[in-house]
Amino acid sequence: MTYNHLFQPYNLGGNHLKNRFVMAPMTRSRSTQPGDIPNSLMAEYYAQRSSAGLIITEATQISLQGKGYAKTPGIYTQEQIEGWKLITDAVYKNGSKIFLQLWHVGRVSSSKVNGLRPLAPSNILAQNTTVYIFDDILGGDATFIPVDKPKEMNKLDIKNVISEFVQASKNAIEAGFDGIEIHGANGYLIDQFLRSNSNKRTDEYGGSKENRIRLLIEISKAVSEAIGKDKTGIRLSPFISFKDMNDPEILETIMLAAKGLNDLDLLYIHLCEADWDDAPRIPIDFRIKLRNTFKNTVIATGNKTPEEAETLLQKGLVDLIGFGRNFLTNPDYPFRVKGNLPLNLISDSHSVFGGGTARGYTDYASVK
């Protein structure tokens, strides 16, 4: 198959992308400890994969309170900002663009990770949900533990979180990023506010759909005013319900949010789509409705083949396509797609969350 659309350049808010491939955000837990500081190993990893037109980094906590998994990087200290500069410099030298994904996990955390009780819209424990720490006694492998029951956020907590997103976005620009992506997906804090089963509040942040999208809109507005709407994207996951997030109203809620984000003229919506074999497929009518509701860039990520990606682009339903695991194991993934070359597979599942080593991280070979 000829991938005419995948290899077309694209103008993303003034960022000229060399192709439509997006390296999707993937948590890898390689930051330097203590301090969750990005480092030269991470710079090597991202530079290797800068054949993508756009890189969206792994989820990055906006505060210690927002941290849910061990050794994930932050963007709230000067040391972290300086560490991220290594990554942005390395990516730019290889001709790609890079956005930082900003993260607050909400109730998906444990005091064993950050020493703090999780915060959430409501005091509801996420059932069958775990996070991980690293146990040196077990050889440094990731050890999964249950999340803690969260504290319901008060108005000051909400105000603080909005401020933390704003400051983190400013820090990202200082670190050299082209923009940021607000993580509003996959069962984390903003997604918890969006869903009726995790948000049982009776104030202006809960109850109706209009109230449940309020935090998302307020964060998006505050961040876009701080760094520019042309530097602000959002990730949403309407069809993903793990982490105890099954909400029968979510599709209507997401579409209402999309209208609000369109009114803010936000740069893009990034759809995180389920990537397991028997996952629900996103209906075409949802894509059409989203396209008609949100006028700017739409990104779709979710275990798509190049053929599926090309078809979505050709039909005009999306503008960019995110690839995760294929970039994880194939630093030169676009080159392999163009040449119909074989792909590397994950060599060791234990190295996905490697805790700090190059094994299964920077040691995947390129064919170029």
DSSP three-state, residue 180: strand
List all residues 6 or more positions away from 145 whose beta carbon is below 8 Å from its beta carbon: 110, 112, 130, 131, 132, 133
- Pairwise CA distance, residues 323 & 312, whole Å: 14
Tokens of 90: 């390395």
Do 118 and 107 touch, CB atoms closer than 8 A? yes
Residue 41 φ/ψ, nearest 5 degrees = -65, -45
**Which among 158, 173, 159, 172 has a CA at the least distance from the CA of 76?**
172
Using the Cα atoms of residue 136, residue 138, residue 142 and residue 148 in order, give the sign of their dihedral.
negative
Q: Pairing relation of β-strands 141-146 and 130-135?
A: antiparallel
- Pairwise CA distance, residues 327 & 28, whole Å: 13
Long-range contact pairs involving 157-163 (C-beta distance under 8 Å, separation at least 24): 157/119, 158/205, 158/215, 161/62, 161/66, 161/104, 161/119, 161/189, 161/215, 161/219, 162/215, 162/218, 162/219, 162/222
List all residues 6 or more positions away from 354 whose beta carbon is below 8 Å from its beta carbon: 28, 29, 30, 360, 361
Active site residues: 188
Q: Specify the length of the chain in residues.
A: 368
Q: How many CA atoms lie within 13 A of 325 on its CB side?
A: 17
DSSP three-state, residue 16: strand
DSSP-assigned letter for residue 37: B
